[in-house]
Amino acid sequence: MKNLMKHLQEKYHYAVVVFKELVKTDFQLRYQGSFLGMVWSVLKPLMLFGVMYVIFVRFLKFTDGTPTFAISLLCGTCLWSFFTESTTMGLSSIVNRGDLLRKVHFPNYIVVAATNTGALISLGLGLIVVILFGAFSGAHFTWRVLLVPFSIIQLYCLALGVSLVLATLYVYFRDIAQIWEVLLQALFYSIPIIYPLSMVARSYPIVAKLMMLNPIAQPIMDIRHNLLSPEYVPTVWTNTADLGGAIDTPDVPAEWQWLNSPCLNILPYLFTVLVLWLGIHLFRKYSQKFAEVL
Amino acid sequence: MTALKNTVPNTRSDDERPVVLKVDHVAKSFRLPTEQATGLKMAFLNWTKGIKGYTEQKVLKDISFEVRQGDFFGIVGRNGSGKSTLLKIISQIYKPEQGVVDVRGKLVPFIELGVGFNPELTGRQNVYLNGALLGFTRAEIDAMYDDIVEFAELEDFMDQKLKNYSSGMQVRLAFSVAIKAQGDILVLDEVLAVGDEAFQRKCDNFFAAIKKDPSKTVILVTHSMDAVKKYCTKAILIKDGEIIVSGNKNDVADRYTLENLKKKQSEPTEQPEGEYATGLNETVPVLHVVPTGEPICSLTEGFDFTVEYDYHGNKPFYVAISLNDIRRGGVPYGDSFDLFEPGKHSVHFRIPMGLFTNGEFRLIASIHEWDGHNPETAQMIAFTNESNACDFSVRDADGLDNFALINKSSMAYQVLDTQLARRQQQ
């Protein structure tokens, strides 16, 4: 028994060492040869935000008029970039590190976790910018900020679960990369990042509620809600009648009232756990063969 | 040059050392894809058609052996015999289908040198990354870093990016990490032939040192029989996924040489109709030398070989047979024989090898025409090329001291000043 404990500890220790080195290497290599280096982690989401702000908020008037919409857009962009980056890089991580897997034995989930962690570091830098900007643009920090780390962990787990599934599939089917790219695009538009939810809720409150149940939208909305403005950003827990915020929404018919039940609201959280479990299970089952297939 | 008598390891003392690696009835097969099934579509189509899309190939069949602490264990075999697969299974990169691999202690695998080396990182960063992948913490690598750099002779280059290294420097760095990494079991795959001569000598010394260290175990995969004989204490020979010789390194090395010679002979020397191989022509369409039995002999029994020829001319002709020393070069012996019968015939010969020591030799035959008495008129009309000459090996316990071609019992210096010099006792 004691031996087993020691064995486990050794194994775990090795995983941590490799994990650290891989994260470090990835980060060192990411902005290799660029003049601004790490600044790009902050600059890129800011520039993307600039583009979106000008197009969607200024020209197309995709705004709900709340003071926090702009900062909420920036926050959403950062969170969404994290999800895109970690899943697309996670997807190809195993194949890209094939040379390693074929020559050394090490717990290969580390490769996926390391790429996701790299993306998480970028997200951290991005969120610092969000908080700084938020202070100047009407964000309302309350005690709820304390809940944000939990949502970030949830988002990370979701991204990790998805990455593990995708990375496993990608080893066998390279088509996945194309499919996932399109799917990400569709997911992006299904989440109220560049447009306010009230735009949907004012005509279709039921659709708006279903959008909130999207397991990726849920943590993103939770983070924006808790970090920036509990008043203006709706979450999955918001009653269908209030999804439009200040704008009046049509009443939801009585037979659709079950949409507001807490049992339903918990689904996206459960889904995250399920995806992570599926990812780990699938990955463990097939990872022993990776060295041979790659 | 003193005779280096091989110290045969005492099998009795072996039993007391702990087993650090136990490979127990390991088998492995691979699926070789026959259909292109890298996409969902093809996978689906194959599935609907019921095509498996692969053939099963058995790479390893029931391999079992034990390595004890302090062993320098050699694994040899021809290309494609399953050596590397076995090594990957030992290093736990592949999972065996059957059987168990039991490793006691820290195993440091070097399937390839410089795993994870990234050209964009500096030498220093690469050492740490490579070290981490081999299972060393930062503190552990800190401790061996100076040693690694010193051994690689790259003190001035460690902060340069790896892409600015010459290929030799990269290999040296990788190899230094490999051998300075303080594991209990070191697994090395074909790494002896790296670096310049000075570096080679360094590696030589290192292997000699590690061989003496009873706590270190080395598993070495190599094609170099010199390396096996020099370093290994034990060895196995793998052929088609099975161990065919196990134990004594000299038996293994000799059998390996034999296997290679056999392979060479069985290669068909088919020629298209109307064309002749190098050295042959329409007057002599067939000429080759083949071993009558095995392509290996001892010093005492001599080597039996057969010269097959087909002569379509009508002049007196003879065959000249020369013995070449493959390792040292040169022709130690040669002679000619008049042939009486034109047409296709096989003539059997025997060459005594008692004068020589262990080595690899080649018999080359050539057919000459002449007028029967004047050597001036002799003209070579055919000869055996590389593929139809005969290679053979001499292996004998008495021929182990093969520094020179001629053995010491056949020839001896005579000391004329006996008060000043005396022949060493064997």
Q: Is the confidence metric ipTM above 0.90 for this complex?
A: no
Q: Residue B134 pLDDT more than 70?
A: yes
Q: Residue B74: what pLDDT?
A: 86
Residue A157: inside a domain: yes
Across A99-122, average pLDDT:
87
Query: Do the beta carbons of residue A113 and residue A84 sit within 8 Å?
Result: no
Q: Residue A231 pLDDT more than 80?
A: no
Q: Residue B9 pLDDT more than 50?
A: no
pLDDT one-digit tens code per residue, A154-185: 999 999 999 999 999 999 888 899 999 999 99
Residue A180: inside a domain: yes
What span, in angstroms and rounded, lies between the C-alpha atoms of B36 and B366?
51
For residue A239, give the amino acid letter: N
> Can you give the residue range of the structural domain that contains A277?
18-293
pLDDT one-digit tens code per residue, A115-158: 999 899 989 988 988 888 888 877 778 888 888 999 999 999 99
pLDDT one-digit tens code per residue, A261-277: 888 888 889 999 999 99
- Class of CATH domain B19-261: alpha beta
Q: Residue B2 pLDDT more than 50?
A: no
Tokens of A270: 């459960």
**Mutation site, B137, B159, B186, interface A, largest A CB count within 10 A:** B137
For residue A174, the chain B residues in CB contact (below 8 A) are: 38-39
Distance to chain A for B161, nearest Cα, Å: 11
Query: Do the beta carbons of residue B39 and residue A174 sit within 8 Å?
Result: yes
Measured at the CA of B57, the angle between CA B52 and CA B50, to 5 degrees, comes to: 5
What span, in angstroms and rounded, lies between the C-alpha atoms of A236 and A36?
39
Residue A135: inside a domain: yes
Closest CB to A25 among B92, B129, B136? B129
Q: Residue A276: what pLDDT?
A: 94
- In this prediction the pTM is 0.73
- Nearest chain B residue to A33 by CA distance is B120
Q: Residue B195: what pLDDT?
A: 59
Q: Residue B10 pLDDT more than 60?
A: no
**Structural domain boundaries of chain B?**
19-261, 286-394
Across B69-94, average pLDDT:
84
Q: Provide the Cα torsion B12, B13, B18, B24; round to 10°.
A: -30
Please give the CATH topology (third level) of the domain spanning B286-394. Answer: Immunoglobulin-like (2.60.40)
Q: Where does the pLDDT of residue A89 fall: very low under 50, low under 70, confident under 90, or very high at 90 and above? A: very high
What is the percent of chain B with per-residue pLDDT over 90, rounded to a whole number?
8
pLDDT one-digit tens code per residue, B341-384: 888 999 999 999 888 988 889 999 999 998 888 888 888 888 88
Q: Residue B8: what pLDDT?
A: 41
Query: Do the beta carbons of residue A27 and residue A121 sit within 8 Å?
Result: yes
Across A213-228, average pLDDT:
90
Alpha carbons within 13 A on the beta-carbon side of A76: 27
Q: Residue B263: what pLDDT?
A: 63
Structural domain count, chain A? 1
Q: Which of B21, B24, B27, B46 is nearest to B35 (CA)?
A: B46
Alpha carbons within 13 A on the beta-carbon side of B356: 24
Q: Residue B219 pLDDT more than 90?
A: no
Q: Where does the pLDDT of residue B1 fall: very low under 50, low under 70, confident under 90, or very high at 90 and above? A: very low
Average predicted confidence (pLDDT) for chain A: 85
Q: What is the bridge-based pairing of β-strands B296-297 and B390-394?
A: parallel
Across B53-63, average pLDDT:
79
Closest CB to A104 among B39, B94, B115? B115
- Give the end-to-end CA distance of chain A in Å, rounded to a whole number: 36
Distance to chain B for A31, nearest Cα, Å: 11
DSSP B32: E
- By a Cβ cutoff of 8 Å, what residues of chain B touch chain A? 30, 38-41, 43, 88, 91-95, 109, 111-112, 115-116, 118, 120-121, 125, 128-129, 132-138
For residue B135, the chain A residues in CB contact (below 8 A) are: 14, 17-18, 106
DSSP A166: H
Neighbours of A246 (CB within 10 A): 11
Q: Residue B6: what pLDDT?
A: 40
What span, in angstroms and rounded, lies between the C-alpha atoms of B149 and B142?
11
Q: Residue B98 pLDDT more than 90?
A: no
Residue A136: inside a domain: yes
